[in-house]
Amino acid sequence: MAQSNEDPKSLVSTQWLFDHLEDPDLRILDASWFLPNAGRDGAAEFVQSHIPNARFFDIDEISDHRSELPHMAPPAEKFISRVRALGVGDGHQVVVYDALGIFSAPRVWWNFRLMGKENIAVLDGGLPKWRTEGRPLTAEPPLIRDRHITVQRQAHLVKDVTQVANVAKLQSAQIIDARPADRFHGFAPEPRPGLRSGHIPNSKNVPWNSVLETNGTMKSVKMLKSVFEDAGVDLKQPLITSCGSGVSAAILSLALYRMGHHDHALYDASWAEWGMYADLSVTKG
Choosing from 243, 249, 254, 256, which is the catalytic residue? 243
Q: How many CB atoms lie within 10 A of CB 66?
A: 9
The full 3-state SS of 17-68, as one line of letters, equals: HHHHCCCCCEEEEECCCCCCCCCCCHHHHHHHCECCCEEECCCCCCCCCCCC
Q: What is the distance of C-alpha 209 from the center of its chain? A: 13
Residues across the chain: 285
pLDDT at 43: 97
The CATH number that domain 11-153 falls under is 3.40.250.10
The DSSP H or E segment spanning 167 is helix 161-170
Cα–Cα distance, 171 to 201 (Å, whole number)? 9
The pLDDT-based confidence of 37 (bands split at 50, 70, 90) is: confident
In the predicted model, what is the mean pLDDT of residues 27-38? 93
Burial 118-142 (b: 16+ CB within 10 A, else e): eebbbbbbbbbbbeeeebeeeeeeb
State yes or no: is 243 an active-site residue.
yes
The CATH number that domain 156-274 falls under is 3.40.250.10
Whether 11-153 shares its CATH topology with 156-274 is answered yes
pLDDT tens track for 88-126: 999 999 999 999 999 999 999 999 999 999 999 999 999
pLDDT at 3: 39
pLDDT tens track for 44-85: 999 999 999 999 999 999 999 999 888 999 999 999 999 999
The pLDDT-based confidence of 35 (bands split at 50, 70, 90) is: confident
Cα–Cα distance, 87 to 146 (Å, whole number)? 5
Per-domain boundaries in the chain: 11-153, 156-274
Reference 75, options 153, 138, 134; nearest CA is 153
Sign of CA dihedral 78, 17, 4, 98: negative
